[in-house]
Amino acid sequence: MPSLRDIKRRINSIKKTQKITEAMQRVSSAKLHKAQTALGYMLPYEERLHYMLLTFIHEERYMYEHGYPKGMHTLRQTPFAIARPINYVSIIFMASDTGLCGAYNANMEKKLQEVLDEYAHLPRENITLYPVGVKMLEAARKTGCVVCDSFTDLTSRPDYLSCERLSKRLGIGYMRGRVDKAELIFYHFKSMAVQILQRDTFLPFQSELVKSSNPSFGRELRGKQGLIIPQEYPVEELNPEYFENYIIEPSRQELIDNLLPKVLRFQIYRSVLDANASEHAARTMAMKAASENAKDLIRDLTLQYNKSRQQAITSEILDILSGSLR
């Protein structure tokens, strides 16, 4: 049985740890609020870009199939949408720079391994990994794949220009045949307690997936406290009756060719902001659970300390009484 001094020392040690976890919880909560605000300000713009692109593609397809107006030709296939046999794969996966966020990094590493198992038929030198986050850089180097470590600091400092560089790098690689498929793996922030591990196809571009890959599409982005993070919702087909009849100059094809790269850049940027918010939410919940566990442990140890102390006092009283009787 531990002595009173040992129990007291352990209580003091746990109280110090509890102060650290509570401070980390407050810091992560503040960072989460900042990340939510940045994501909320970006989502309406990104949503509108997705909607415009989807409208142009489906409207053109609909009018061509129904022969209106006469003389309209189908859209030229954009280079980013041409699917081909998969020989070279690029995978962007996003986690955190530090730990103490529960199973956040462990689940991402497990998911990465599952994806690599799907490409087991490809040589490892044909798979390029783009880890975002120092923790994932360590995991990527163990896989034997080609690793690009130029974007590891994106989650800690989300930067649109860096996302643009990454998008251009993948786009150029796709057009030159060095990339046949590119995937995004990240956490989607749904709520404080729920972060969904999501896997999206970045290239080749698939117009049918524009809605499903954008959880905010068509949702109201304001609440009682201002901008909020929208939730998931069922995907529906775009109804031709609701086309907005944009007036386009010089041509629909040229607009799509310029709009598509921008949509791809914002897809990466949204994923980075989503992962950043999910990381702080996971750390907030982990530190909250740690603080509550410390509180329960302190209560149990205090009860044990009081019982031991009472037992020691009783033993001393009995010793004094037995000595006086002699």
For residue 84, the model assigns a pLDDT of 85
24-29: average pLDDT: 92
Could you tell me if 243 and 103 lie in one domain?
yes
Could you tell me if 195 and 265 lie in one domain?
yes
Q: Which of 111, 107, 68, 87 is nearest to 177 (CA)?
A: 87
| CATH number of the domain where residue 275 is located | 3.40.1380.10
Kind of pairing between the strands at 146-147 and 89-94: unpaired
Could you tell me if 9 and 107 lie in one domain?
no
For residue 59, the model assigns a pLDDT of 63
Could you tell me if 214 and 312 lie in one domain?
no
* Alpha-carbon separation of residue 163 from 43, 144, 246 (angstroms): 16, 25, 29
pLDDT tens for each residue of 274-287:
999 999 999 999 99
In this prediction the pTM is: 0.79
Could you tell me if 11 and 47 lie in one domain?
no
From CA 275, how far away is CA 281, in angstroms rounded?
A: 10
Does position 225 have pLDDT exceeding 60, yes or no? no
The structure tokens 């650290």 sit at 20
Cis peptide before 250 (omega within 30 of 0): yes
Q: Tell me which residue range forms the domain holding 303.
A: 4-31+285-325
For residue 71, the model assigns a pLDDT of 44
Could you tell me if 91 and 11 lie in one domain?
no
Number of domains in the chain: 2
What integer best gives the mean pLDDT of the chain? Answer: 80
The answer for residues whose C-beta is within 8 angstroms of residue 272's C-beta and 6 or more apart is: 94, 132, 154, 155, 158, 163, 186
Could you tell me if 321 and 277 lie in one domain?
no
